Structure 1
Amino acid sequence: MTQDPLFILIMLASVAVVVVLLLGLGGFAKGSGWAKNNANKLMRYRIGAQFVAVLLIIAYVFLRQSGGE
């Protein structure tokens, strides 16, 4: 499973979602002006990363069910 390129892409996309989420939460926790200026941008990046991750997961499940090893 760990040798599957699609699985590796899914893991990278999931890590990207977590990183962007933590950047956003860290900015809000500090309460700095940086968070105020970049909150919407980080939200858009997180939603985009989640969209890609979900599409990759759906493709992975579909390919495994159809026998595409």
Structure 2
Amino acid sequence: MNTFLAIVLVVLMILVVVSLVRGIVAFLKSTKVDLESGEQVDATEMQLAQNRAMFARVKYQALAIAVVAIILAIAN
């Protein structure tokens, strides 16, 4: 059981890093577009992609914390 949970935890940590990188890339692209175009009234597609990536990161982090809590509960 611990081996399975450890594998799940590693997969979740990888997903956190991937979604973080995707969010940062979207942030950099949206910043570049904002600088080139001037003022922005609505949220751009890149900003929406950034929000989706960061929300995914938060979900994966919450799941990883839950897995760690389960591992600690089983260890006691």
Query: Runs of 5+ in structure 2 lacking a partner?
Result: 34-43
Higher RCO, 1 vs 2 (CA within 8 Å, ≥6 residues apart): 2
Query: Runs of 5+ in structure 1 lacking a partner?
Result: none
Contact 1:21 1:46 in 2 (8 A): yes
Aligned residues: 63
Paired position in structure 2 for 1:59: 70
> What is the distance in 2 between the residues matched to 1:35 and 1:57?
33
TM-score by length of 1: 0.76
Aligned partner (choices 56, 68, 73) of residue 45 of structure 1: 56
CA RMSD in angstroms, aligned pairs only: 1.8
Whose Rg is larger?
Answer: 2
| Percent of aligned pairs sharing the same letter | 22
Listed as ranges, the matches of 1:1-69 within 5 Å are 4-31=3-30, 32=33, 33-64=44-75, 66=76
